[in-house]
Amino acid sequence: MIQQVMSVTRSGVGMWAIAAADFGAELELVEVPEPVAGPNELKVRLFAASVNPFDRKVVNGMLRSSAPHQFPLVPGTDGAGEVEGSGERIFGTFFHRPVGGGTYAEYVTVPAGNALVPLPDDMDPAVAAALPTAGMTALQLVESLGTAESVLIVGASGGVGSFAVQIARAAGKRVIPIGRGDSLVEADALIDLVSADRSSFEANARYAPLAFNTNYVSADQAQNFSMKGSRETLVRLASMVQAGDLEVPIARRVPLREATDVFAGHKPGKTVIIM
């Protein structure tokens, strides 16, 4: 287990976080130093952070050969909070290097150039925290479909899938939501959010001439999809939520000190950690 130790920073303050002691380790509640913002960084007191499949992959070591890490490794890419010093309320993506200073914590530092935008006064911080990665991925996936009139969405009940179903329907496309193990039918396009290997994806891709996957690198580069975060896209998504055109599928809200099990299971919708 991670030893829970109060370390002292220059401000002499510690904070609670959910972290892993090593790659592949279980998440635990730990007390660690509050981060100190460096040049061109913001220090943010978090209100909420959302859980993404990417977070689990980071803990399992997917970036161990391509990026420096710090331990205990605090996962978490998305969040909403208040900038220390200015009081500005913001939300967006907080991923930065070294990996391990994520949003499953009371405070986080983040490069000022990250995809971060003002948190609307009328938006629940938990809703805002659940929006960035899943929402931007879904929006960009649907826009990649072009003029396709029908789309199969495999994994439609998850965070990205729930957003993609709504956005595709709003774009006038016929959406065929598919759960794990359901039979597929033919369509103009396929968004596969579930397949973890080439063979399973290619088995699904037989049903649509235009296919995208989000979980592994395909030999066909046209099928690979990688989300590109931007402030413009976050603003668009927030406007859609405010207008009532997009519902954020929060399935579970869990207090930070009870959040060690957030990687367990595959429940529909988004899990949000409340600080």
Per-residue pLDDT at 1: 37
CA dist 57 and 49 (Å) reads 17
DSSP result, the chain: ---------TT--EEEEEEESSTTPPEEEEEEEPP---TTEEEEEEEEEE--HHHHHHHTTTTTTTS-EEEEEE---EEEEEETTT--EEEEE---SSEEE-SSBSEEEEETTSSEEEPPTTS-HHHHHHSHHHHHHHHHHHHHTTT-SEEEEETTTSHHHHHHHHHHHHTT-EEEEE-TTPPP---SEEEESS--SHHHHHHHHTT-SEEEESSS--SSGGGB------HHHHHHHHHHHHTTS----EEEEEEGGG-TTTTSS--SSEEEEE-
Say if residue 209 is preceded by a cis peptide, omega within 30 of 0: no
Weakly modelled stretches of the chain, pLDDT under 50: 1-12
Q: Are 95 and 115 in contact (CB under 8 A)?
A: no
Per-residue pLDDT at 193: 92
Strand 99-101 with 69-74, pairing: parallel
CA dist 144 and 137 (Å) reads 11
Per-residue pLDDT at 195: 87
pTM: 0.91
Per-residue pLDDT at 233: 97
